Amino acid sequence: MIVRISGEGQFRLPDEDAGRLNELDNRAVSAVEQGDETGFKELWSQMLELVSGDGNRIDDDELVESDVILPPRDVTFDEACGEFTGEGLIPD
Amino acid sequence: MPGLAGRMSTVVKAKISRMLDKTEDPGETLDYGYQKQTELLQNVKKGIADVVTSKKRLQMQSQKLEQQVVKLDTQARQALSQGREDLARTALERKNLAQTELQSLDQQVKELEGQQEALTANEQRLRQKIEQFRTKKEVIKAQYSAAEAQVRISEAANGVGEEMADLGLAMQRAEDKTETMRARASAVEELEQAGAFDDITQLGSGQDDIDRQLSELTSGAQVDDDLSKMKAELGSGGGDAPALEQGEEKA
């Protein structure tokens, strides 16, 4: 699975991580919906850790599209509120 | 990636595809677009230059304020040692205000530095990918049937297109941030021009408008605290009290 952290580049993650990332994603969404900034920050750093810790950075000479694109590392809670709400464009 | 078509990822992805629509077909851009690519990379360079300019401006303000903090602190001591508690208080109020501004300026300089680094890395990555695309395209053409080659080339083009769009987003974000900081820098400049950080040798007699505003702005408790600390230091230190620099006031 290929994941991009916006503004930072792409990472190749083992497919097993997809479930974990999805779970964190869902929890982050509900943290945002509840206005829980601390909870969101914690989950967000876990997501980043999973992607950049477990994944391998994709070389600059590899030309592939990402399966998932995450917001920039320094996304603010306000920005997240704009991006993480509702069902998203493609409800899962 | 079923199930991972999650909300935020999708939203960012949607933003990116909207940008892609705007920047036309990446394949086309890459095929015909020496000029387009050069334009894009020029824009990035300009964006980075903007960030650097804002950073320099904030750094200069920060240096000025640092000097002012030291000066006001010295003057507060001098005023106090001459029994001019009122002057000492004013100096400390100004010092506090300057320190608060200083902290936020330093924080912003750090943020801009991060942004500059990220944009620079982004730009290099994109450059590299564009080069790679050119090489790869020729290899693919030579190795595959026309139909197959077209598919592979367009996959590669989408990879580069995503990088372009992401860089576009990063630039937009950097612009928003520098905009905010420019406003911030102007606000500090206005305070400066209004004399909010002036040293007390430039004070006229009596309280002016700025002083009244300052007293409201700065926390009285902090100033009281500073003042009593200073008194304690001066009391225990003893010795000759230095005279006020310039515009010396009779105690």
| Residues of chain B positioned with their CB less than 8 A from the CB of A62 | 132, 159
The pLDDT score that the predictor gives to residue B73 is 92
Q: Give the A-side interface with B, CB within 8 Å.
A: 1, 4, 6-9, 18-19, 21-22, 25-26, 28-29, 60-72, 74, 80, 83-90, 92
B170-218 pLDDT tens trace: 888 888 888 888 887 888 888 888 778 877 666 554 455 555 555 555 5
Sites in chain B below the pLDDT cut of 70: 1-36, 200-221, 236-251
User: Residue A56: pLDDT above 90?
Assistant: yes
| Residues of chain B positioned with their CB less than 8 A from the CB of A4 | 162, 166
Hey, are the CB atoms on B166 and A6 less than 8 Å from each other?
yes
The pLDDT score that the predictor gives to residue A18 is 84
The pLDDT score that the predictor gives to residue B190 is 85
Report how far Cα B99 is from the mean position of its chain's Cα atoms: 17
Cα dist. B73→B184, B199, B200, B230 in Å?
25, 10, 10, 10
Which run of H or E residues covers position A10? Answer: strand A9-12
Please report the ipTM that was assigned to this predicted complex. 0.82
φ, ψ of residue A14 in degrees (nearest 5): -60, 145
User: Residue A34: pLDDT above 80?
Assistant: yes
Using DSSP's 3-state secondary structure scheme, residue A2 falls into strand
Contact at 8 Å (CB) between B214 and B86?
Answer: no
pTM flag (> 0.90): no
| Residues of chain A positioned with their CB less than 8 A from the CB of B118 | 7-8
Out of A4, A9, A90, closest to residue B5 by CB = A90
Hey, are the CB atoms on B6 and A6 less than 8 Å from each other?
no
The pLDDT score that the predictor gives to residue A47 is 93
The pLDDT score that the predictor gives to residue B32 is 56
Contact at 8 Å (CB) between A43 and A87?
Answer: no
The pLDDT score that the predictor gives to residue B19 is 60
Contact at 8 Å (CB) between B217 and B97?
Answer: yes
The pLDDT score that the predictor gives to residue B248 is 44
Q: DSSP 3-state helix, strand, coil percentages of chain A (rounded to 5)?
A: 45, 15, 40
Contact at 8 Å (CB) between B14 and A6?
Answer: no
Q: Which position has the token pair 């992607």?
A: A51
